[in-house]
Structure 1
Amino acid sequence: MSSQQVEYFKAYHLLVRLNAEIVTVSPLRVGAGKGTDIGEPDLPILRLNDGRAVIPGSSLKGIFRSTVARILNKNSEDIYYLFGGKVSNGGNQEVSIGSPLIFDDFISDHVIPSLERSHIKINPKSGGVQHLFQVEYVPNNVKFYGNILARNLAPLTLGYIVSAVKALMDQRIVKVGGFKSRGYGAVSFSLKEVSFLVPSKSSSFKTRFTRNGNETEVKIEIVDGNKLKVTEGSTTKEIPVKAVDEKPLFVNIKVDPESFINLNFGD
């Protein structure tokens, strides 16, 4: 491992775990390839062995990455510091850094029955029906749960990322899965629980995992016993604390999810 990589992850100064909920508001289709068994849909959905549906963490990471790239209007090292990639080491060489964001697979809260819709493919030359096929889908109002873990990522930057993607998902601009042009993939996104895992009740560190990739000092401390004061560079925010659990290796600080996701509003 290069010295540049060690610089970013040689110690965990801050872990933020987001427990999130995704709810379908239109049919959802995350495919598992073509069906090969007799009686199986032509295009089945991705499932666990127990029948619950899955939205892969890799798919969600791709959605977050592409959305943030469009919002920042760039495809540069700024994005690589948030989602991994090759960055300059200050000279003519590049080094690879891992992403500070880790996405779990999101799993439906119950077994999804097999539901199919028929679709057709139109021949662009003749305008006639060329192919009839069936696709399996997840219906409306199905809840998916999973976690997003941020490692040494500046917390206000994390709040910015999540609030931006949530807003665009809730407005049906950013969708999940395939067949988006056929009306699939609209979802709502919300945070159910937000936990800050830090070495102590007062902690500070420097990180380049920020919105612009610049090295920034981050300070975190509990104030007045019920607020988490978060400073990122010259910006300071306070988040209501719901619970504090002191463990042997770290302090688990649970904060109000709604306040966290609204950190960057009004800036």
Structure 2
Amino acid sequence: MVDYTFIRKDIIKRQTVIEGILELQSPLRIGVGKSGGMDPASIARDTVLKDTGGTPIIPGSSWKGVFRSEGERILRRKNLIVCSGVGKDYCLNNFRKYDDFQRNLTRDIDEAIRIFWNYTCLNCKLFGSMSVIGAVKFLDSKAIEFKLGTRTMIAISRTEGAVARGALVQVEFVEPGSKFTFKIMGNNLPNYAIGYLLTIMKNIHDGFIQIGGHKSRGFGFIRFVNLRFSDKGEKKIGDEDVSVSTQDEIKEEGDKFFEKMKPFMEAFNNAKIPYPVH
């Protein structure tokens, strides 16, 4: 009998938290754009996203998008089936199982769980899919030390892909050296799924992934200053999981943290992920 704990929402057998502080290595711009609530006190036409108190934030939705996008690249490199989760490109739709899944949500929940397990990729199970919430939650990252700057840039038309009329735009950004909080919370995560998240985080930490806008201009590089891992409950979730021997709590600065978390990343590398069906 298949163990569906990973995707179950009605039971919690394991709770995992990864949290800490990150530091910008280059300018960062998570923007609201020209039409999204401009800051009247700012001289910039293209402003940084802030909370109601004026503090810059990186929304959890932005983190989720970064993790899903980079995860898609990693999984494809391992020759695993994975969807983008954008538009109609999601597993249940691609396997033509979405209607069956929806019908069984009210008729036969066990069959709905079976369909979701068999016909969704690791990204769908972790980050969610149409009608199903994910197993992980990304909290908004809030600046705890920051400076804002502005830079004049050439404006590019989104519709034409060429230099826009007016040509120049004042862009606000968060300056290098600024620090933000970071937190991921997960329920019922197998060790290989934890290792998958950590692999993506290490790629961010090592400068292989950028966050936010203006990546071609060198924006969006970050490093994790320190991180804390806490794990409560069962230490192995599902028959396909790989055992990992480690502490229930690990707290270290960035490089040392990822060194100590290697067993989880190795679990991801060694796991034989049986879904989705071919």
Length-normalised TM-score, structure 2: 0.66
Q: Which residue of 1 aligns with 2:134?
A: 99
In structure 2, the CA distance between the partners of 1:120 and 1:156, relative to structure 1 (3 Å rule), is: same
Q: Which residue of 2 aligns with 1:44?
A: 47
Residues 19, 194 of structure 1: 8 Å contact kept: yes
Q: What are the ranges of 5 or more consecutive residues in structure 2 without an aligned counterpart?
A: 77-81, 84-90, 92-119, 271-278
**Whole-Å Cα distance in 2 between the matches of residues 105 and 16 of structure 1?**
17
Q: Which residue of 2 aligns with 1:131?
A: 167
Residues 166, 190 of structure 1: 8 Å contact kept: no
Q: Which residue of 1 aligns with 2:125?
A: 81
Q: Give the residue type in structure 2 aligned to 1:13.
A: K
In structure 2, the CA distance between the partners of 1:17 and 1:38, relative to structure 1 (3 Å rule), is: closer
In structure 2, the CA distance between the partners of 1:8 and 1:42, relative to structure 1 (3 Å rule), is: same
> Are 1:108 and 2:103 counterparts?
no
> Are 1:197 and 2:232 counterparts?
yes
Q: Give the residue type in structure 2 aligned to 1:149.
A: M
Task: Give 1:69 deviation, angstroms.
Answer: 0.9
Residues 24, 141 of structure 1: 8 Å contact kept: yes
Q: Which residue of 2 aligns with 1:56?
A: 59
Task: Give 1:255 deviation, angstroms.
Answer: 3.2
In structure 2, the CA distance between the partners of 1:8 and 1:188, relative to structure 1 (3 Å rule), is: same
Among 137, 141, 147, the alignment partner of 2:177 is 141
Structure with the bigger percentage of helix = 2
Task: Give 1:109 deviation, angstroms.
Answer: 1.2
- What secondary structure does 1:115 align onto? strand
- What secondary structure does 1:238 align onto? coil
* 1:1-28 Cα deviation digits (max 9, x unpaired): xxx9997011110010111322111110
Task: Give 1:146 deviation, angstroms.
Answer: 2.5
In structure 2, the CA distance between the partners of 1:192 and 1:167, relative to structure 1 (3 Å rule), is: closer
Q: Which residue of 2 aligns with 1:254?
A: 249
Q: What are the ranges of 5 or more consecutive residues in structure 1 without an aligned counterpart?
A: 87-95, 207-215, 218-231, 242-252
Residues 6, 190 of structure 2: 8 Å contact kept: no
> Are 1:26 and 2:26 counterparts?
yes
Among 175, 178, 189, the alignment partner of 1:153 is 189
**Whole-Å Cα distance in 1 between the matches of residues 162 and 49 of structure 2?**
34
**Whole-Å Cα distance in 2 between the matches of residues 17 and 58 of structure 1?**
17
* 1:216-247 Cα deviation digits (max 9, x unpaired): 23xxxxxxxxxxxxxx63x32211x3xxxxxx
Among 237, 244, 256, the alignment partner of 1:237 is 244
1:180-219 alignment runs, 5 A limit: 180-189=215-224, 192-198=227-233, 203=234, 206=237, 216-217=238-239
- What secondary structure does 2:243 align onto? strand
CA RMSD of aligned residues (A): 3.1
**Whole-Å Cα distance in 1 between the matches of residues 164 and 51 of structure 2?**
38
Q: Kindly, what percent of the aligned residue pairs are identical?
A: 25
Residues 190, 236 of structure 2: 8 Å contact kept: no
Residues 46, 53 of structure 1: 8 Å contact kept: yes
Q: Give the residue type in structure 2 aligned to 1:173.
A: F
* 1:71-129 Cα deviation digits (max 9, x unpaired): 1013242121121115xxxxxxxxx432001000011113x344111112379999898
Residues 166, 188 of structure 1: 8 Å contact kept: no
- What secondary structure does 1:255 align onto? strand
Among 142, 152, 155, the alignment partner of 1:118 is 152
In structure 2, the CA distance between the partners of 1:63 and 1:107, relative to structure 1 (3 Å rule), is: same
**Whole-Å Cα distance in 2 between the matches of residues 21 and 170 of structure 1?**
12
**Whole-Å Cα distance in 2 between the matches of residues 146 and 54 of structure 1?**
10
Q: Give the residue type in structure 1 aligned to 2:126.
A: L
Higher relative contact order (CA 8 A, sep 6+): 2
- What secondary structure does 1:58 align onto? helix
**Whole-Å Cα distance in 2 between the matches of residues 138 and 26 of structure 1?**
9
**Whole-Å Cα distance in 1 between the matches of residues 5 and 200 of structure 2?**
28
Length-normalised TM-score, structure 1: 0.69
Residues 122, 130 of structure 1: 8 Å contact kept: no
**Whole-Å Cα distance in 1 between the matches of residues 148 and 124 of structure 2?**
39
User: How many pairs does the alignment contain?
Assistant: 213
